[in-house]
Amino acid sequence: MTASSSGPATPGNRAGGGGPRPHRPTLQEVADRAGVSLKTASRALNREPHVAEATGERVRRAADELGFRLNALARELRSGATSTTAGLVIGDVGNPYYSRIARGVEREMDARGLQLITSSTDDDPERERVAVAGLLERRVAALLVVPSSEDHRYLESERAHGLPVVFLDRPAGHIDADTFVLDDRAGARAAVEHLLKAGHERIGLVGDFSRLSTHRARVAGHADAMQAAGVQGWETYVRADCHDLDAAAQGARDLLALPEPPTALFTTNNRCTTGALRAVAGLPARPEIVGFDDFDLADVLGVTVVAHDPEEMGRLAARAALARLDGDDSPPRTVVLPTRLVVRTAPGTEPPPVRDRPADLRSSGPRSLAVARPREATLLDAEVR
């Protein structure tokens, strides 16, 4: 029978009565086993010069037998060296959009021998500050941030000390820094123009937190298209602050419960699209849905989307951070990445009839990511005008 303790957790006692913690071997134990001094053991494990080859092998063998591993972070902190890690702060590691950004960043950092540490915030400004502080304590060589807050002056001192800081997806607040964003406004306008051309005028919008610049820019693109088409009262059909699947589904249901429900929905990100699809499942007459962000199975479901390349955004942002690390001191720049409308038809349905619209509403066609190059712009391009 195994004894358990209901007393408080101690260094040798796991909380909840899980037994003693496994002992982590120390450098002193390695030195004792190898029969050398602590200093010699340290020098041997760090492969410093002036350690006899036989002594070094004996020390390393003792470390392997004990399961000892050097604490690279502690060593870097003691020596004052820059960490061999880079930090990335994203909204939600479970969201495929952010996962693809992280993959792009990671591949570039890995090629330079930097290990990527990723932290998520769920788009909470306070959690952003905590995540950034944790990465700075680890002395990351570069910091990349998908911002949730609107004021990033707290990073000025780090940048003044030479830390490369790059922003992705949304612009930084109150500081000038390298920034990589999507052409959110143009992408949203293209999506809504597509619905207008199909004959829809009551077009609902299901969107993310209203405080986020991406949401505001996409609402502005929606407004551009509706106002150009002369559609009045479109604001009635806007539902914001639908940050998760349940909230997005409820936002879509609220719209569909109106006396004159929308005949189409524009959803401003992949989570809003998924939530809206759940809301319309099983309805005898489903509204047409166009979503911002492509997603798995969108082609199977026949969902038209505003597509882009998050992995490319991650790669470009990582390259900018590495260039700063290499001494690039050129002025900060904002790069706006293109989007393209991917038109799909739901299985078993015919393409919707196209109603003639004024010539200025006719799209010149989607801009292919394979052809269109990122363009530089000011931060105003990501703001609601």
- pLDDT tens, position by position, 183-220: 999 999 999 999 999 999 999 999 999 999 999 999 99
* Dihedral angle, C-alpha 85, 91, 94, 98, nearest 10 °: -70
Question: How confident is the model at residue 48, as a pLDDT?
Answer: 87
Residue 51 pLDDT more than 50? yes
pLDDT digit string, tens, across residues 251-292: 999 999 999 999 999 999 999 999 999 999 999 989 999 999
At 78, is the pLDDT very low, low, confident or very high (cuts 50, 70, 90)?
low
CATH code for residues 85-182+313-337: 3.40.50.2300
**Integer Cα distance of 304 and 249 in angstroms:** 18
Q: Which CATH class is domain 184-311+338-373?
A: alpha beta
Of 140-144, 277-281, 379-383, give the lowest mean pLDDT range: 379-383
In contact, 214 and 240? CB cutoff 8 Å: no
CA-CA distance, 303 to 323, in Å (whole number)?
39
pTM for the model: 0.75
Q: Which pLDDT score, from 0 to 100, does residue 349 have?
A: 54
Domain positions in the chain are 27-70, 85-182+313-337, 184-311+338-373
CA distance 37 to 32: 8
Tokens of 272: 């809003």
Is CATH 1.10.260.40 the classification given to domain 27-70? yes
Q: In what order do the strands lie in the sheet with 115-120?
A: 115-120, 85-90, 143-145, 165-168, 178-182, 334-337, 375-377
CATH fold match for the domains 27-70 and 85-182+313-337: no
CA distance 261 to 288: 12
Arithmetic mean of pLDDT, 85-99: 95
Report residue 11 CA to chain centroid gap.
37
Indicate whether 10 pLDDT > 60.
no
**Using an 8 Å Cβ cutoff, are 317 and 178 in contact?**
yes
| pLDDT at residue 358, rounded to an integer | 39
Task: Give CA torsion, residues 253, 256, 262, 267, to 10 deg.
Answer: 10
pLDDT above 70 coverage of the chain, percent = 81
Mean of the per-residue pLDDT values of the chain: 85
- Per the model's pLDDT, the better-predicted residue between 83 and 16 turns out to be 83
